[in-house]
């Protein structure tokens, strides 16, 4: 073969392999409102930056007439490129090839990429559009997923791992994302379940649509399995770029700082907390009034919204924010909000992102449902993750900080480096009504006018304890500051903590209350 013919042959092979399941299948993919997998990579990455690996991989399965089937690229496109100018590793499953199902060679393409990501310290993005383990390959496809899960775990806390769900994803195609740091879903397109509706019908005799079983809303609002919701794929890719702009490439780096910008003038921190201590407000307004350019990238916005977590910048540096949300359930900690906060704290700690905690909560949510759902175990995750975190930890107590909630929300006692309180702070074992009813019970019930006595005792308690000064007298907080001083106090503290090093006792790993 002449050189020219060899080159022509190469182009012909390349063009066939890149066509995936062929034109008809690609048209079907588009008709479902989904972008073809190569378009997804092109839109997500910086222009012309994608470098593909393993285009000519071929499956080895001979059962079920599979030897007669060409599965181009084995149903997954893998390679490297850049986003915001920074290197990334990316794979995108191709639903037009055997439903994006994962056979052994498909898995090997992904694990090769994961090994690169881990060794080279580069974030990994997986675009999942797959029916899970390829049924025809039997245990070989299970082996493939096992090898992926193993690497997801090795990479956890070393490089950021991002999963995008862009199709009906079952089995391993959702368990690998569950091991990664952030899961992105798109309205009407994303479906996640361990087993699809057909299996459910066979096994349980129940009929359910894919959307109701595991659509984008289910996983961003009910299960908490997904972290970001987008209306379409384009918005989803923009969200990923924004998220990556806040993150370091790996756990040995710090996120790149950008030009500092003051918050926008329309957010006035002095005017957010209502004068009536029982009235709610939106903690996100406080965040926007303190951090750079009033930008806030909220994580898991639609789930457990009694706590707010996400990324912002303080004088150009990425920080992770955890704040109670008085608008929802008065900002209590419960099973789900504890899980949400604890996981976010551990992510920030792994990737050298300082934590800023904004406190306003009446405590942990009481009640049979919560107790039976394991609020003790789940709530303990917040205690564990804050105590374990060695990144700079800055805490502001805005209003209520009662009981276990006071301790849990990054108090000095869990290792906060700086704790500030606003003059509106109320730091006590519990709210005044509950406290007065217990400690003054005899006086209230023995009184000729119990209601009046209760009111007096509540007032007495408020005057004595519903303020920041008892904590200040005991050194549990560092300073009482005006709300308008908050940004400056945080910037000052963050600068002081820039080289923080905290060495702990050696251990293989801790045993968090999973």
Identity of the residue, 93 or 424, whose beta carbon is nearer to ligand HXC in the bound complex: 93
Place of tokens 């800055």: 394
DSSP class per residue in 297-326: EEESTTSSTTEEEEEEEETTEEEEEEEE-T
SS3 sequence, 82-135? EECCEEEEEEEECCCCHHHCECHHHHHHHHHHHHHHHHHCCCEEEEECCCCECH
CB of residue 320 to ligand HXC, shortest distance in Å: 30
Which whole-number Å values give the CA distances from 337 to 7, 229, 370, in the listed order? 58, 18, 12
Nearer to ligand HXC, 179 or 277 (CB): 179
Give me the least distance between CB of 1 and ligand HXC, in Å please: 34
Question: Which residue number, 104 or 329, has a Cβ lying nearer to ligand HXC?
Answer: 104
CB 176 within 8 A of CB 144: no
Which is closer to ligand HXC, CB of 145 or CB of 461?
145
Q: Closer to ligand HXC by CB, 128 or 337: give it.
A: 128
Q: Specify the residue, 86 or 195, whose C-beta has the smaller distance to ligand HXC.
A: 195
Residue 158 backbone dihedrals phi, psi, to 5 degrees: -105, -50
| Phi and psi torsions of 499, nearest 5° | -110, 25
Token pair of 284, please?
A: 């996100």
Residue ranges that bind ligand HXC, judged by CB under 6 A:
98-99, 101, 131-135, 142, 145, 168, 170-172, 175, 195-196, 198-199
Which of residues 69 and 495 has its CB atom nearest to ligand HXC in the complex? 69
93 vs 203, 213, 316, CA distance in Å?
A: 28, 22, 36
Residue 198 CB, nearest distance to ligand HXC (Å)? 5
At residue 185, the 3 state secondary structure works out as strand
Q: Which two tokens stand for residue 274?
A: 């209502």
Q: How far, rounded to the nearest angstrom, does the alpha carbon of residue 221 sit from its chain's CA centroid?
A: 13
Q: How far is the CB of 295 from ligand HXC (least distance, A)?
A: 37
CB of 116 to ligand HXC, least distance (A): 23
Q: How far apart are CB 123 and ligand HXC at their closest, in Å?
A: 24
Cβ-count burial 66-104 (b if 16+ within 10 Å, e if not): beeeebbbbbbbbbbbbbeebbbbbbbbbbbbbbbbbbb
Min dist. Cβ of residue 54 to ligand HXC (A): 20
């Amino acid at each position: 073969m002449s050189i020219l013919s060899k080159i022509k042959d190469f182009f012909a092979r390349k063009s066939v392999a890149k066509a995936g399941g062929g034109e008809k299948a690609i048209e079907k993919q588009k008709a479902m409102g989904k972008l073809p997998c190569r378009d997804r990579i092109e839109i997500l990455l910086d222009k012309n930056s994608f470098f593909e690996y393993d285009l000519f991989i071929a499956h080895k399965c001979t059962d079920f007439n599979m030897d007669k089937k060409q599965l181009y690229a084995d149903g997954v496109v893998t390679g490297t490129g850049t986003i915001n100018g920074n290197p990334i590793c990316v794979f995108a499953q191709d639903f037009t090839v055997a439903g994006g199902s994962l056979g052994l060679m498909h898995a090997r393409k992904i694990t090769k990429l994961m090994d690169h990501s881990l060794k080279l310290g580069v974030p990994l993005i997986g675009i999942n559009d797959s029916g899970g383990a390829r049924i025809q390959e039997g245990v070989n496809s299970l082996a493939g997923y096992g090898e992926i899960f193993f690497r997801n775990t090795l990479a956890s806390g070393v490089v950021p791992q991002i999963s995008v769900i862009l199709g009906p994803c079952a089995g391993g195609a959702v368990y690998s994302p569950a091991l990664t740091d952030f899961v992105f879903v798109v309205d009407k397109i994303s479906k996640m379940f361990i087993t699809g509706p057909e299996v459910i019908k066979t096994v349980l005799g129940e009929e359910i649509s894919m959307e109701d079983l595991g659509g984008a809303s289910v996983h961003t609002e009910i299960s908490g399995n997904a972290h970001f919701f987008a209306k379409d794929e384009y918005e989803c890719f923009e969200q990923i770029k924004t998220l990556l702009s806040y993150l370091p490439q790996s756990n040995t780096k710090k996120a790149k700082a950008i030009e500092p910008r003051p918050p926008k003038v329309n957010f006035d921190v002095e005017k957010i907390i209502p004068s009536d201590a029982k009235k709610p407000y939106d903690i996100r307004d406080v965040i926007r009034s303190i951090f750079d350019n009033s930008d806030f990238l909220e994580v898991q916005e639609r789930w457990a919204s009694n706590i707010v977590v996400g990324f912002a910048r303080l004088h150009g540096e990425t920080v992770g924010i955890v704040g109670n949300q008085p608008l929802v359930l008065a900002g209590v900690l419960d099973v789900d909000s504890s899980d949400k906060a604890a996981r976010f704290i551990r992510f920030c700690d792994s990737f050298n992102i300082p934590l800023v905690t904004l406190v306003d909560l009446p405590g942990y949510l009481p009640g049979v449902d919560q107790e039976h759902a394991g609020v003790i175990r789940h709530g303990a995750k917040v205690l564990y993750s804050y105590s374990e975190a060695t990144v700079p930890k800055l805490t502001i107590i805005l209003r209520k900080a009662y009981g276990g909630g006071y301790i849990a929300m990054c108090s000095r006692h869990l290792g906060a480096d700086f704790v500030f309180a606003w003059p509106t702070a109320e730091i006590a074992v519990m709210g005044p009504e509950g406290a007065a009813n217990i400690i003054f019970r005899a006086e209230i019930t023995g009184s000729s006018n119990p209601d009046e006595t209760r009111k007096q005792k509540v007032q007495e308690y408020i005057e004595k304890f519903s303020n920041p000064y008892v904590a200040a007298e005991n050194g549990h907080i560092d300073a009482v500051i005006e709300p308008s001083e908050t940004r400056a106090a945080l910037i000052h503290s963050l600068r002081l903590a820039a080289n923080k090093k905290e060495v702990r006792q050696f251990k293989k790993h801790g045993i968090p209350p999973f």
